[in-house]
Amino acid sequence: MILNNIEEIDISNYPIIIIGSGPAGLSLALSLEKKNIKSIIIEAGDIEYSEKSQTYYAGKITGDIEEDFSSNRLRQFGGTSGHWGGWCCPLEEYDLKQWPIKKKDLNIYLNDACSVLEIDHEFNKAKINEDFNQVEFKFSKVKFNEKYYNHVTKTKNIILLLNSQFLYFKGTNKLIKSGVILSNKKQKEIFSKFFILASGGVENSRLLLWSRENNNGLFNKDLPIGNYWMIHPWLIGGSGLISKKKIANRIQDLENEDLLFFGTSENLKNKNNDLGGLLYMRPFEDVKLYKKFINDILCIAPVYGKKITRLIANKDLKCGNIFLHMEDKKEFNNKIYLSNQKDEFGIPKYILNYKFSDAVLNSAKYIMESFATTCVKNDYGRISIVEDIINLKKIRNLGANHHMGGTIIGDDYKRSVVDSNLNVHGIKNLFITGSSVFKTTGHANPTLTIVQLSLRLSEYIKNKINV
> Which residues in this chain contact another protein in the complex, by CB under 8 A?
238-239, 292, 296-297, 299-304, 369, 372-373, 375-377, 379, 382-387, 390
Rg of the chain over CA atoms, in angstroms? 23
Which residue, 311 or 375, is less far from another protein as judged by CB?
375
Least distance in Å: CB of 292 to another protein?
Answer: 8
Which run of H or of E encompasses 463? helix 447-466
271 class by beta-carbon count within 10 Å (0-12 exposed, 13-18 middle, 19+ buried): middle
Least distance in Å: CB of 40 to another protein?
Answer: 55
Least distance in Å: CB of 227 to another protein?
Answer: 37
Rounded to an integer, what distance in angstroms lies between the CA atom of residue 14 and that of residue 35? 13
Angle between helix 110-117 and helix 447-466 axes, rounded to 10 deg: 120
3-state SS, residue 355: coil
Which residue, 1 or 298, is less far from another protein as judged by CB?
298
Which residue, 134 or 239, is less far from another protein as judged by CB?
239
Least distance in Å: CB of 392 to another protein?
Answer: 13
Which residue, 90 or 238, is less far from another protein as judged by CB?
238
Rounded to an integer, what distance in angstroms lies between the CA atom of residue 68 and that of residue 71? 7
CA nearest 437: which of 211, 138, 101, 212? 101
Q: Alpha-carbon dihedral of residues 298, 300, 306, 310, nearest 10 degrees?
A: -70
Which residue, 154 or 396, is less far from another protein as judged by CB?
396
Least distance in Å: CB of 321 to another protein?
Answer: 10
Which run of H or of E encompasses 214? helix 200-214
Least distance in Å: CB of 357 to another protein?
Answer: 23
Least distance in Å: CB of 301 to another protein?
Answer: 4
Least distance in Å: CB of 129 to another protein?
Answer: 15
Which residue, 96 or 317, is less far from another protein as judged by CB?
317
Which residue, 196 or 297, is less far from another protein as judged by CB?
297
3-state SS, residue 264: strand
Rounded to an integer, what distance in angstroms lies between the CA atom of residue 354 and that of residue 205? 14
> How far, rounded to the nearest angstrom, does the alpha carbon of residue 335 sit from its chain's CA centroid?
16
CA nearest 386: which of 398, 366, 368, 359? 368
Which residue, 231 or 375, is less far from another protein as judged by CB?
375
Rounded to an integer, what distance in angstroms lies between the CA atom of residue 15 and that of residue 66? 41
252 class by beta-carbon count within 10 Å (0-12 exposed, 13-18 middle, 19+ buried): exposed
